[in-house]
């Protein structure tokens, strides 16, 4: 899941029907931080471009008072990495597909809620001899909870919370079995609706709670636990049954991860 993907009305799953959402994002980073937030790999550079197709179907069936829905994400990714002293590497192709067969959503006067469990399927291109891989080569199970508060005057607070439980990568680049630690992250938005426009600030927070392990042993002194916070402006325009969103996010407080910036363009079409 690309952190920061969701924004306005992220807790408000739309009414029963079919929806297509397209996410286009460009991420660039020229620093890789260590556990103290200092530069870990001099000369590191990463550029990733992705276009993600999301297909959403919300049924009229209600379970526990909420509408039942299903969705699927299909990512296409182009990745370029410079990793001294190993050199440069670029890969392109299908990423890991995400499915959720059991989304539930509830709607009240000013509040909207949603829950589900996203499943990451290791469909992405992967080679254990590559350091630039599109796929992760392991499954992830991700419980989610999202909410939106929308006042009568159009003021909005939205967030989508996720917790990732990862399985082992049995053919890691480092050799042997690599287990990425469990991760908590959320996307957030604070915004205001003005006619057909929405303006606001948003981004994401990411925190890894358990250690990375290589062949059952903790990686490094700190378990290579990652952290990041991102913030930036967001703008959305609605035209009939279509929504257009543009946003920019810059990362800070990064540990054990690349630190960079993201540009997004998102399109929603309601059939």
Q: What are the structural domains, with CATH classification, of the chain? A: 17-270 (2.40.128.130)
- Residue 1, pLDDT score: 77
- Average pLDDT rounded to a whole number, residues 7-19: 97
- Residue 163, pLDDT score: 98
Residue 176 has pLDDT above 90, yes or no: no
H/E run at residue 54: strand 45-63
- Residue 30, pLDDT score: 95
Residue 253 has pLDDT above 80, yes or no: yes
pLDDT tens profile 72-105: 999 999 999 999 999 999 999 999 999 999 999 9
Bridge partners of 126? none
Distance, CA of 83 to CA of 85 (rounded, Å)? 6
Distance, CA of 197 to CA of 234 (rounded, Å)? 11
Distance, CA of 121 to CA of 135 (rounded, Å)? 9
Distance, CA of 260 to CA of 32 (rounded, Å)? 9
Distances (CA, A) of 202 to 10, 172, 173: 11, 34, 34
Tokens 């939205």 identify what position?
Answer: 158
Find, among 76, 78, 75, 82, the residue nearest to 29 by Cα.
82
- Residue 174, pLDDT score: 85
Residue 113 tokens read as 């809620």
pTM: 0.95
- Residue 82, pLDDT score: 96
pLDDT tens profile 47-81: 999 999 999 999 999 999 999 999 999 999 999 99
Distances (CA, A) of 9 to 202, 217, 245: 12, 41, 12
In residues, how long is the chain? 271
- Average pLDDT rounded to a whole number, residues 5-19: 97
- Residue 117, pLDDT score: 98
pLDDT band at 217, cuts 50/70/90?
A: very high
Torsion of CA 251, 254, 257, 263, to 10 degrees: 0
């Amino acid at each position: 899941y690309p952190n920061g993907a969701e924004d306005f009305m992220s807790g408000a799953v739309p009414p029963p029907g079919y929806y297509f959402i397209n996410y286009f994002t460009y991420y660039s980073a020229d620093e890789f931080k260590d556990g103290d937030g200092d530069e870990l790999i001099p000369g590191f550079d990463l550029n990733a471009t992705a276009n993600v197709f999301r297909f959403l179907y919300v049924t009229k069936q209600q379970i526990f008072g909420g509408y039942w829905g299903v969705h699927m994400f299909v990512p296409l990714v182009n990745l370029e990495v410079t990793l001294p002293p190993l050199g440069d590497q670029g890969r392109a192709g299908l990423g890991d597909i995400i499915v959720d067969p059991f989304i539930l959503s509830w709607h009240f006067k000013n509040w909207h809620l949603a829950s589900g469990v996203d499943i990451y399927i290791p469909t992405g291109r992967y080679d254990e001899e590559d350091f630039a891989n599109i796929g992760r080569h392991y499954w992830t199970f991700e419980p989610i909870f999202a909410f939106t508060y929308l006042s009568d005057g159009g003021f909005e607070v939205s967030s989508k919370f996720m917790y990732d439980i990862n399985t082992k990568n049995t053919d890691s680049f480092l050799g042997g079995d690599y287990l990425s630690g469990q991760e908590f992250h959320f996307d957030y938005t604070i915004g205001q609706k003005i006619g057909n426009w929405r303006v606001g600030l948003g981004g994401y927070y990411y925190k890894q709670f358990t250690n990375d392990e290589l062949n059952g042993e903790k990686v490094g002194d700190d378990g290579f636990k990652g952290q990041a916070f991102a913030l930036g402006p967001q703008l959305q325009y609605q035209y009939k049954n279509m929504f257009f969103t543009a946003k920019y996010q810059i990362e800070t407080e990064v540990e054990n991860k690349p630190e960079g910036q993201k540009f997004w363009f998102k399109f929603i079409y309601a059939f």
